[in-house]
A = this chain, B = another copy of it.
Amino acid sequence: MITIARQGTFRITMTKLTRKQQIDKQAAVLFKTKGYAASSMRDLAQVLGIEAASLYSHIKSKEEILRRICFRMAEAFFTAQKQIESLHSEPKLQLKKAMAVHLKVIAGSVDEAAVFFHEWRHLSEPYLSEFLVMRTDYERKFIAILEQGIATKVFRAVDAKLTAMTILSAINWVHRWYRSDGKLSIEQISEQLAEMMIRGVKS
């Protein structure tokens, strides 16, 4: 399987995407703006300048597209998280880095991130369950960082789960308005949010 990082570079360095990649990309844009259920295969075909029936030479079904987008993003988030896990830094720095890599993944694929955050519920079983398990696993890492910080008295005695989810909701929300050509770079946003959250929880 192609890794997200490789594919991200691919997308930036050259504009020549395969038809399947074009379908996934335009589907992400469409699903983000109209929602999965309200987006028709005819809408998607029109954006690509082909007939709806022609889409099926490249894909199996509408849901398969959604599946690819959701699981590819999940993989990207996990890959990013694994990279910071090996660092074994102290809780504050670990939280800051976890936020930074998470935001970097979002910034690299805003449309896909929006689909990941809002359209996953249209996945059918067993994919839906698999997706939710992965998401919970991912969130657990943030909770663990908080708990470790609380145990070592670096952080106040906050509710670890409530706080972790609050931090995640704050950074996830960035996908709604972030533009790579905006006045704030993703690093600046990351810096400000980490500063705010760490001040919020430190002893």
Contacts and interface: CB of A to CB of B under 8 A. Distances in A.
A35 B121 contact: yes
Given A121-B35, A200-B199, A201-B196, A189 B162 contact: yes
Given A192-B159, A197-B200, A122 B169 contact: no
Nearest to A121: B35
A2 interface: no
Nearest to A173: B169
Contacts of A35: 35-37, 121-122
A41 B146 CA distance: 45
Interface of A: 33-38, 118, 121-122, 158-159, 162-163, 165-166, 169-170, 172-173, 177, 184, 189, 192-193, 195-197, 199-201
